[in-house]
Amino acid sequence: MLKRLPALESLRVLEACVRHGSFSRAAAELGVTPAAVSLRIRDLEAELGVTLFRRAGPKVAATEAGAALAGRMAQALGVIRTAVDDCRDAADPLRVTAVPTFATRWLAPRLAGYHALSDAVPIRLDVSAELRPGERFDIAIRTGLGDWPGFDAVALMPVEATPMLSPALAATARLSSPADLAALPLLPHDGWQRWFHEAGVDAPGLRFYADDYPTHELDASAAIEGAGVALLSPRFFGPLLRDGKLVQPFPHVIRGPAAHHILLQPGEARPVVLRFRDWLQDEARRQLDSPMPAA
């Protein structure tokens, strides 16, 4: 008849106690009290019928039997950890699709932080402005008003935009008021009329740059080279402001009504997808609570 094995947690406590040579230090590592560790060891000794530690007041020392069992348990726990890591590495990647600027300027710089989490999974990132068929992704980030039939959409953060231009162009233009921007070439963007209106400027005849780029990333590159003034998100392109590659001449920022949304399949219940959704929302809240880059 097979004898019942002790609880794995008791053997894990034994290994930690022998490795640290101290019940209190083992307790700190395991997140329990020294009294709980001591009780666990006493119960394990009673179950095995073997003395595992010699006690002399507050000091403890592993017996030969205790040290031998702890050594083999360390090997076994190493095998278990390797097996768990291998299982995680073999997990199917989470398929995430995001629009280009969001993927480049917001998501990609944060993924290292996500992968530092204990429950992180591999990410397969698809960058596209077009919405993929639902069976081709697990979670999507798209920009709009929230009307994507067949998907559950949750707003992540509002779309924001403010004028940015190269320091050289700003110095040449000698900008003193928002109205001065109307004399400069503007990189095409649907929000220009609104920005001037909210800034209190009547600007009926705006002059647009000849090329119309498909992404804000390309607008930013053109603005850095002095082609004109781009209407960009200060949160996404804040690093270019901090590095001095672009300047934000005026503080006014237009917001919404469009927003960056998380899109999920209706009734999505997979924990790995919901955890990534929650992580996205936490990161967005953290950024929205932080100060806007200074103009």
Please tell me the predicted confidence (pLDDT) of residue 85: 66
Domain definitions of the chain by residue range: 8-89, 92-295
pLDDT digits (tens, 9 = 90+) for 8-43: 899 999 999 999 999 999 999 999 999 999 999 999
The beta strands (E) that lie in the chain are given as: 53-56, 59-62, 94-98, 123-127, 139-144, 152-164, 230-232, 254-264
CB 261 within 8 A of CB 144: yes
Does residue 233 sit in helix, strand or coil?
Answer: coil
Mean pLDDT of 210-229: 93
Above 80 in pLDDT, residue 52? yes
CA distance 144 to 129: 11
CA angle 273, 279, 280 (to 5 degrees): 90
The mean predicted confidence, pLDDT, of the chain is 90
Please tell me the predicted confidence (pLDDT) of residue 16: 93
CA distance 291 to 281: 18
Above 70 in pLDDT, residue 295? no
pLDDT digits (tens, 9 = 90+) for 80-94: 887 776 666 556 799
Per DSSP, 277 falls in state H
Task: Tell me how far CA of residue 53 lies from CA of 27, 45, 238, 252, in angstroms.
Answer: 16, 9, 59, 70
Look at the domain 8-89 and name its fold: Arc Repressor Mutant, subunit A (1.10.10)
Give the gyration radius of the chain's Cα atoms: 29
Please tell me the predicted confidence (pLDDT) of residue 162: 97
Please tell me the predicted confidence (pLDDT) of residue 284: 94
End-to-end CA distance of the chain: give it in Å, rounded.
Answer: 77
As given in the structure block, the two tokens for residue 19 are 């490795």
Above 90 in pLDDT, residue 57? no
CA distance 153 to 130: 16
Please tell me the predicted confidence (pLDDT) of residue 86: 65
pLDDT digits (tens, 9 = 90+) for 104-137: 999 999 999 999 998 899 999 999 988 878 788 9
Please tell me the predicted confidence (pLDDT) of residue 56: 82
pLDDT digits (tens, 9 = 90+) for 59-83: 889 999 999 999 999 999 888 887 7
pLDDT digits (tens, 9 = 90+) for 241-273: 999 999 999 999 999 999 999 999 999 999 999
Burial 191-215, CB ≥16 within 10 A → b, else e: ebeebbeebeeebeeeeebeeebee
CA distance 283 to 21: 41
Above 90 in pLDDT, residue 99? yes
Q: Do domains 8-89 and 92-295 have the same CATH topology?
A: no
Dihedral, 209, 236, 275, 285 alpha carbons, nearest 10: -130
Above 80 in pLDDT, residue 217? yes
As given in the structure block, the two tokens for residue 151 are 């998907």
Query: Which residues are registered as beta bridge partners of 98?
Result: 127, 141
Q: Specify the pTM.
A: 0.66
Does residue 69 sit in helix, strand or coil?
Answer: helix
Low-confidence winner among 75-89, 94-108, 162-176 (lowest mean pLDDT)? 75-89
Q: β-pairing, 123-127 with 94-98?
A: parallel
Please tell me the predicted confidence (pLDDT) of residue 2: 60
Look at the domain 92-295 and name its fold: D-Maltodextrin-Binding Protein; domain 2 (3.40.190)
